[in-house]
Amino acid sequence: MDSTTLQKFLSPIALGGLRHFDSIGSTNNEALAWALNGAADFSLVSADEQTAGRGRSRRKWVTPRGAALAFSLILRPSASESASPSLITGLGAVALVDALRSLGLTAQIKWPNDVLINRKKVAGILAETSWSGDKLEAIVLGIGVNVLSASVPPPAELSFPATSVEAELGQTSERFDLLRNTLQLIAHWRERLATGELLEAWNQSLAYKGQQVRVWQGAETALIGVVDGLEADGSLRLQVDDKFVTVHFGEIHLRPA
């Protein structure tokens, strides 16, 4: 879809602006640069292909041409969003889970930033912040979704099993319908961020609830505990033996134990 057609297709959504690329390095990089140059709230960068898509800690995110969704939304944070920027990852995840549900798929959120279907990763979220001194100027919410089977990287490139919407549905679906629906749901849940409803929905879709997981940060020894739920700022609460431990956002890995 070219830029003009996409603009029209997304017209029911109050976007601050739109930049759509056939191919780009990373939509998050473009969005961060645009945010520095005055992008309005809810401006969108999307691409048919990323050649340098990023996950956390500069890990690679694979987006082959025409097979996936790769987009980044620029949010100019309100006071409550500035107070809890970590909820923005949950905002993207909950919206996507809802959008997938409307396709008939049950997805879960593997804390902190993966969306799973049948225990396989269908999407990854990368929320990044842009600061001016101690003022949070913008949050870039980057989302990559494997839509067609061709978007799933070979197992050798993966640290966790992956899937696509097509593989899980057993049929193809229209990428841009999913994009429009997800953006509408992001706008919907954004209004419910400060009320606690977003956190409740995130909690409800949390993967491994009541199950034992291993969580580790960098090279630290893994913490083994049972997933209990989320704290008010989106941190993960684990039950470790007879006490609760809060795991904060950061360079975290979580796996079923």
- Contact region with ligand BT5 (CB under 6 A), list: 8-16, 50-58, 221-229, 231-239: 50-58
Q: One symbol per residue from 177 to 216: x for binding ligand BT5 (CB under 6 A), - otherwise; what is it?
A: ----------------------------------------
Q: How far is the CB of 62 from ligand BT5 (least distance, A)?
A: 4
Q: Judged by CB under 6 A, does residue 89 bind ligand BT5?
A: no
Please report, as residue ranges, which positions from 104 to 143 form the binding site for ligand BT5 (by CB under 6 A): 113-114, 121, 124-126, 142-143
Q: Which of 54, 110, 175, 180 binds ligand BT5 (CB under 6 A)?
A: 54
Residue 220 burial (10 A CB sphere; 0-12, 13-18, 19+) = exposed
Q: How far is the CB of 125 from ligand BT5 (least distance, A)?
A: 6
Cβ proximity of 209 and 236 under 8 Å: no
Q: Judged by CB under 6 A, does residue 97 bind ligand BT5?
A: no
Backbone angles phi, psi at 19, to 5 degrees: -130, 115
Please report, as residue ranges, which positions from 212 to 241 form the binding site for ligand BT5 (by CB under 6 A): none
Cβ proximity of 50 and 30 under 8 Å: no
* Nearest residue to 223 (alpha-carbon basis) of 178, 190, 255: 255
* Nearest residue to 111 (alpha-carbon basis) of 129, 132, 93: 93
The CA distance from 188 to 257, in Å, is: 35
Q: Decide whether 104 or 154 has the Cβ nearer to ligand BT5.
A: 154
Instruction: Name the DSSP letter for residue 168.
Output: H
Three-state DSSP state, 187 = helix
Cβ proximity of 75 and 42 under 8 Å: yes
Q: How far is the CB of 29 from ligand BT5 (least distance, A)?
A: 7
Q: Judged by CB under 6 A, does residue 55 bind ligand BT5?
A: yes
Q: How far is the CB of 252 from ligand BT5 (least distance, A)?
A: 9
Please report, as residue ranges, which positions from 139 to 178 form the binding site for ligand BT5 (by CB under 6 A): 142-144, 146, 151-153, 158-159, 162
166 C-beta neighbours (distance < 10 Å), count: 18
The CA distance from 230 to 247, in Å, is: 9
Q: Which residues would be at the binding site for ligand BT5 (CB under 6 A)? A: 26-28, 50, 53-56, 59-62, 70-72, 113-114, 121, 124-126, 142-144, 146, 151-153, 158-159, 162
